[in-house]
Amino acid sequence: MSKQELPIVQTTSCCTSPQSAPLGEGQAVELAAIFKALGDPVRLRLLSLIAAAEADKGVCVCELTPAFELSQPTISHHLKLLRQAGLVGSERRGTWVYYWLRPEVTDRLASLLARPANEWQAEPAAQAS
Amino acid sequence: MSKQELPIVQTTSCCTSPQSAPLGEGQAVELAAIFKALGDPVRLRLLSLIAAAEADKGVCVCELTPAFELSQPTISHHLKLLRQAGLVGSERRGTWVYYWLRPEVTDRLASLLARPANEWQAEPAAQAS
DNA sequence: AACATGAATAGAAGAACGTCAATACAACCT
DNA sequence: AGGTTGTATTGACGTTCTTCTATTCATGTT
């Protein structure tokens, strides 16, 4: 049970099958899973709290849970979904577990949404300055 | 029944209640609704097809439906969700209905995701060039 | 006016989701 | 070793979502 799920996205994506259609089925499934993780108010607020922390430090779950009027298992569940989507990473430090943002993934989504008129195809992640 | 739903987002958002927390509850609900609309492979592909078209022309539903192995009502339903999220606009031209992208909304999401370490707060829409 | 075609709506069935209470696991501290 | 605190997992319940078939609405044509 100590299996750590792999993130859905590989930012170094090697295209699935760039046929003719823009955004192939495979990529659509992959991206939709990430957007679905963002499609909940609690998870969005969690992510914003996590993103607000210093990247290398991370945020303790013990700081996140009391920010919501939800049970601790519910918060834990949402954090798990964010992690499975690849949006955050997590690590245990002593008694506490810390979560941090993975900007590669959010950047990928941002670059995808930023130029919708252009290419929605596979994009080898943003190489922003 | 001829009521045209209003998009969820008003890009000229007048802040709900910028308290202390990053991304207030209200904004989280609002944004999550948009991300949820993106959280389905079919809708993502629909959006990419719509985005690929010339902005002022739009895409006919009659071109979108045969691109999927789904029933016509199902496609119609997904298009409705994209429209309710404010991601696309639609218009009837004679026998056919056309859909087009609303870049203001996708741009807003992009700018939100692009700088997660910075401010997730209310953002008066991107004022791109 | 009747008909044909494109698109939206209504209603239903099954799967997936969000939440909780209860429990299990992990690490620290006597 | 036993107890305490922080976090994750399990199982259940009600809601929401995706999809379908059947039907209705809208427009254009004969």
Cβ of B62 less than 7 A from strand D: no
End-to-end CA distance of chain B: 39
Q: Is B25 inside a domain boundary? A: no
Span A10-57, pLDDT tens digits: 443 433 333 334 788 999 999 999 999 999 999 999 999 999 988 788
Average pLDDT for chain A: 81
Rounded to whole angstroms, how far apart are CA atoms B52 and B46?
10
* A8 and B CB contact within 8 Å: no
- For residue B86, being part of any structural domain is answered with yes
Who wins on pLDDT, B40 or B125? B40
Supply the pLDDT for residue B70: 98
In a domain, A49, yes or no: yes
For chain A, say whether B11 makes contact (Cβ under 8 Å). no
Domains in chain B, number: 1
**CB of B95 within 7 Å of some strand D atom:** yes
What is the span of the domain harbouring residue B50?
Answer: 42-114
Asked if A28 and B41 come within 8 Å (Cβ–Cβ), the reply is yes
Residue A30 lies in a domain: no
Q: Hey, is the C-beta of A44 within 8 angstroms of any chain B C-beta?
A: yes
Specify the 3-state DSSP secondary structure of A25.
helix
Q: Is the CB of A4 under 7 A from strand C?
A: no
CB proximity under 8 Å: B 56-75 to A: 67
In the 8-state DSSP scheme, what is residue B58?
-
Sign (positive or negative) of CA dihedral B85, B86, B88, B90:
positive
- Work out the pLDDT band at B63, boundaries 50, 70, 90: very high
For residue B60, being part of any structural domain is answered with yes
**CB of B118 closer than 8 Å to CB of B64:** no
pLDDT of residue A3: 42
In a domain, A104, yes or no: yes
Covered bases, chain C (protein CB within 7 Å) = 5-11, 17-22, 25-28
User: Using one digit for the tens of pLDDT, what is the confidence trace for A107-125?
Assistant: 999 999 986 545 555 444 4
Question: Does a structural domain hold residue B93?
Answer: yes
Query: CATH number for the domain including A87?
Result: 1.10.10.10
